[in-house]
């Protein structure tokens, strides 16, 4: 069981970056909650918890302490950038463990692929290093993400709930792949499991007798019993049947013509 600790940057009295009517502390909480949801829905073999699930203030070292105390296997701190730039980036410690380097690579690969779908790129080099408290003081592989800029045109994306959800899912996949978490097996939908491909060259058991008779009597050639019939093919069969009937009843050509005229009268009646 792998323990994942998701840290929602800022909170309470510390709003973090502010811009375009958005507060960083609210966005980081949304991202982190969506991330946990995605992990719980799609992967087994992990226990994912957040440093905060509400709008409260936590000191930076306490965030690291929480992860250290819980013996977390991975720490990811989610943030929103400010300073008027554009793009996604992430940070690991300046003297990173090999685990942190791999974790950052895994998260960045997913995050950048998703960001690209929204027309968002990387802010300079995406895999940055920084002497940031939460990545320095944590004992496990740790990465800090900066989703986009709150005080530039990026803010339009930050207002888009689909972008937040998709990026959170990307972070989740990055962490899950780094930890090699087993993917939950999806149940097979009922409709799909019911569909059975039929062989049109094999007659259905319930139609066997009728099919044999119709073939023996010359109405079908005996091939492809399961194929759909076209209107023109049906016309040939109907006319074959009709003319045989007339021949049966009539004794000579004249009789047949008279019978056909009467049959046509009956057929006209049927149409009304
Ligand atoms: Zn921040």
pLDDT at 67: 98
**CA of residue 62 to ligand 1 center, whole Å:** 16
Neighbours of ion ligand 1 (CB under 5 A): 9, 16, 79
**CA of residue 128 to ligand 1 center, whole Å:** 15
Q: Which single residue is written with the structure tokens 């811009």? A: 19
The residues that bridge with 22 in the sheet, in sequence order, are: 19
**146 classed as catalytic:** yes
Alpha-carbon distance values, 9 to 63, 129, 218 (Å) = 9, 18, 81
> How far, in Å, CA of 145 to CA of 14, rounded?
18
Average pLDDT per consecutive 10 residues, the chain (272 residues; last block may be shorter): 98 96 98 98 97 97 98 98 96 97 98 97 93 97 98 97 97 98 78 69 89 88 89 88 81 78 83 65
> How far, in Å, CA of 171 to CA of 112, rounded?
10
Residue ranges with strand state E in the chain: 2-8, 18-19, 22-23, 46-50, 74-81, 88-92, 122-129, 142-149
pLDDT in tens, 112-166: 999 999 999 999 988 999 999 999 999 999 999 999 999 999 999 999 999 999 9
> How far, in Å, CA of 48 to CA of 267, rounded?
75
* Cβ atoms of residues 134 and 63 within 8 Å: yes
Question: Does pTM surpass 0.85?
Answer: no
**CA of residue 254 to ligand 1 center, whole Å:** 100
> How far, in Å, CA of 56 to CA of 257, rounded?
97
Which residue among the candidates 146, 212, 213, 267 is catalytic per the annotation? Answer: 146
CA atoms within 13 A on the CB side of 239: 6
Domain boundaries, the chain: 2-179, 193-271
**CA of residue 3 to ligand 1 center, whole Å:** 23
Please give the CATH topology (third level) of the domain spanning 2-179.
Aminopeptidase (3.40.630)
**CA of residue 81 to ligand 1 center, whole Å:** 7
**CA of residue 59 to ligand 1 center, whole Å:** 13
pLDDT at 265: 86
């Amino acid at each position: 069981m792998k323990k994942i600790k998701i840290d929602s940057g800022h909170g309470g009295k510390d709003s973090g970056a502010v811009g375009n009517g958005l507060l960083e502390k609210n966005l980081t909480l949304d991202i982190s909650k969506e991330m946990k949801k995605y992990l719980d829905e799609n992967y087994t073999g992990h226990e994912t918890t957040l440093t905060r699930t509400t709008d409260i203030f936590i000191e930076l070292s306490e965030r690291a302490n929480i992860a250290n105390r819980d013996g977390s296997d991975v720490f990811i701190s989610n943030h929103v950038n400010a300073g008027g730039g554009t793009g996604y980036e992430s940070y690991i410690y300046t003297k990173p463990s090999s685990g942190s380097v791999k974790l950052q690579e895994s998260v960045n690969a997913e995050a950048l692929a998703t960001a690209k779908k929204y027309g968002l790129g990387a802010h300079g080099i995406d895999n940055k290093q920084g002497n940031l408290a939460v990545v320095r003081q944590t004992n496990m592989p740790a990465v800090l993400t900066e989703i986009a800029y709150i005080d530039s045109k990026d803010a339009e994306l930050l207002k888009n709930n689909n972008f937040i959800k998709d990026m959170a899912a990307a972070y989740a996949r990055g962490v899950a792949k780094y930890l090699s978490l087993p993917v939950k097996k999806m149940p097979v939908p009922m409709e799909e499991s019911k569909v059975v491909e039929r062989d049109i060259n094999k007659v259905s058991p319930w139609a066997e007798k009728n099919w044999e008779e119709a073939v023996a009597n010359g109405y079908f050639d005996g091939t492809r019993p399961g194929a759909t019939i076209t209107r023109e093919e049906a016309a040939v069969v109907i006319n074959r049947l009709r003319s045989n009937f007339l021949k049966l009843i009539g004794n000579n050509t004249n009789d047949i013509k008279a019978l056909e005229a009467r049959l046509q009268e009956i057929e006209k009646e049927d149409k009304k």
